[in-house]
Amino acid sequence: MSDLFRGLTSGSRAVVRTRIEPPPADGPQLTDTVGEIAALDEESVRMTTRTGEVTLRRDLVVATRAIPPRPTRRGAPHRAIGIEDLHLVMTKGQPGSTQAWLGEEREGWLLRAGHGWTGRSNSALPLGDPGLPLPDAVDAVDAWYTERDLTPLVMLPRPRGAGTGDDPLGRLLLQRGWTEGHPADVLTGRTDTLLTGSAPAPEGLTLHASEHVDETWLAGSPPRLQQHHDAAREILALPPHQVFLTAQDGEGGTAGVVRVALADGWAGIFGLHVAPGHRRRGVGRWLTLAAARAARESGASLTYLQVEPSNEAAQQLYRGLGMQQHHDYVYLARGASPLAKA
């Protein structure tokens, strides 16, 4: 698969520019097709457009560009995307090592398992109709995770201001005695808005970028990731288009790390961590802006991230750079406390 389609998969929305064959004697030589990629192989790309399905020859493709999912309401692009569509983008940034659908693909419930590292990679994500009555769908989730020796866990997205009991699934899980964990905010913004901020490079630090996770980046990551080193390495190798940023001091030590995952015209900022000895030096802000620059250079006009409401320093940093709350989510676990960190 050529780099022209890097980061694009089935379900991605994109603009695909192709040569017109045979070339016209006069007029444009190229044409753009806008739509959702239905299938992609070495010879062709099949796209669903507003006027129907078309198949394009791969050898005629000269350029591609990912574009965000179609807005579901009016407003700024980073606010107008629906909760379900945003989660479809977000899960590409940190998938499970094993995934399955309950109901129709992209329209049902996504089941994710990732050896117990993070709730994102080890939870059921209800996006639509699971194809079963709600109690039976919960039983199916229970069985799927139990079969893999994992605690059954559901990530429940909630509109701003909504409680878990306001949602039929959330209400059923609470009635069954599932345990509700702490919420996490999903913040979104325009990438260019983040870059209106400034942050000088902290003295003595240099920034290193890689498209692949390596041991230096992993060594500078949060302790919980290091406790799940093998699972994290496996999962972090899955997203097809990423940038791993590492801040190092003059002695080769790691001062901080952050990861950028790119998909569908969006950039996700993950795993920002500053070593205790380098805190209160502006390293976190510097790395966040470096992540935003990497996002813009890769063509991502919109950015998302996930942060706990109780993390006051991170909330102040991100909101101060122009990020706004889109919605939140909460984990519910059967018979045990949900994972402490998302």
What's residue 211's pLDDT? 96
Q: pLDDT tens digit string along 134-149?
A: 999 999 999 999 999 9
Q: Which domain holds residue 92?
A: 77-182+329-333
pLDDT at 238 over 70: yes
Number of domains comprising the chain = 3
Considering the domain architecture, whether residues 160 and 194 belong to the same structural domain is answered as no
Considering the domain architecture, whether residues 98 and 221 belong to the same structural domain is answered as no
Give the end of a domain, one of 35, 67, 99.
67
**Phi, psi (deg, nearest 5) at residue 217:** -65, -45
Considering the domain architecture, whether residues 13 and 62 belong to the same structural domain is answered as yes
Considering the domain architecture, whether residues 199 and 255 belong to the same structural domain is answered as yes
pLDDT at 119 over 50: yes
Residues 6+ apart with CB under 8 A from 285: 197, 199, 317, 321
Alpha carbon distance 186, 304 (integer Å): 7
Considering the domain architecture, whether residues 178 and 196 belong to the same structural domain is answered as no
Write the CATH number for 10.
2.30.30.520
Q: pLDDT tens digit string along 303-323?
A: 999 999 999 999 999 999 999
Phi-psi domain of 83 (left: phi exceeds 0; alpha: psi -120 through 50; beta: other): alpha
Considering the domain architecture, whether residues 55 and 34 belong to the same structural domain is answered as yes
Considering the domain architecture, whether residues 317 and 236 belong to the same structural domain is answered as yes
Give the end of a domain, one of 11, 45, 67.
67
Whether the full predicted model's pTM is greater than 0.95, yes or no, is no
The verdict on residue 342 lying in a domain is no
Q: Are strands 124-126 and 266-274 parallel, antiparallel or unpaired?
A: unpaired
Considering the domain architecture, whether residues 273 and 293 belong to the same structural domain is answered as yes
Instruction: Give me the amino acid identity at 20.
Output: I
Considering the domain architecture, whether residues 194 and 324 belong to the same structural domain is answered as yes
